[in-house]
Amino acid sequence: MPVPSSVLAAAAPVWDWGYALEVLPDLLRALVVTIEITLLGSALAMALGLVIAVLRRARIPVLDQVVWAFVEVVRSTPLLVQIFFLFIVAPRFGLTLSAFLVGVLALGVHYACYTSEVYRAGIDAVPRGQWEAATALSLPHSRTWTAVILPQALPRVLPALGNYVISMFKEVPLLLAIGVVEVVNAAREAGSQTFRFVEPYTIAGLLFLALSYPASMLVRRLERRVGTV
């Protein structure tokens, strides 16, 4: 609970540079954790998303409906609830995961349900003639995918995937709910020792801005180069 503002206002200046520098190392360490989770989660989301997209194209009865329902449920329920779900339910089936790993899995699976739609759009954008040509050349199914379809589909989906990586980065703080020491949690811990929250939370916000703004600029440039789906 925050201390009444009148107390703080009397005790110290609104912004204390010394204190800001003091908490910065902790926040930077937490930023590294945040980036690690983002990169691992993104790798999972990109791989699993592609699997889901290719699987759904195969239209295997029953499996197709199951995957569809899974994607819809994941996309329509809060990520925070899914994080709690994995954190609380997995141990009940004898699968005890660290909070870090729960974070990577929850974010990865959640975003896979979004990236699968991106891949789908990218695959759909490959002209029909490419499939027909592959059939005419009697390429095996696997070669059609790896040598014809995906090389054309993937460049166009890169900007959209990049945007999801940035979104994921900004959603990592949800993991503070299960005790992962990412940036916001580190800021909270620093603040609760000194009862000064202005500097830690403000720096936390600036750290996110400092990384995600340039990243989104890069994605925009990529978008102009390769187009988008």
Contact 25, 189 (CB under 8 A): no
| Amino acid at residue number 162 | G
Query: What CA–CA distance (Å, rounded) separates 44 from 114?
Result: 12
Write down the least CB distance from residue 41 to another protein, Å.
Answer: 14
Select from 169, 65, 168 the least CA-distant residue to 114. 168
C-beta closer to another protein: residue 57 or 170: 170
Write down the least CB distance from residue 133 to another protein, Å.
Answer: 31
Which residues contribute to the site for another protein (CB under 8 A)?
Answer: 2, 5-6, 8-9, 14, 73, 76-81, 84-85, 88-89, 92, 170-174, 176-177, 183-184, 187-188, 191, 197-198, 201-202, 204-205, 208-209, 212-213, 216
C-beta closer to another protein: residue 77 or 146: 77
Write down the least CB distance from residue 131 to another protein, Å.
Answer: 27
C-beta closer to another protein: residue 150 or 168: 168
For Cα atoms 214, 212, 109, give the angle at the middle one, nearest 5 degrees.
135
Query: What CA–CA distance (Å, rounded) separates 54 from 52?
Result: 6
Write down the least CB distance from residue 3 to another protein, Å.
Answer: 8
C-beta closer to another protein: residue 150 or 186: 186
Between the CA of residue 133 and those of 58, 130, 140, 222, what are the distances in Å? 19, 5, 12, 29
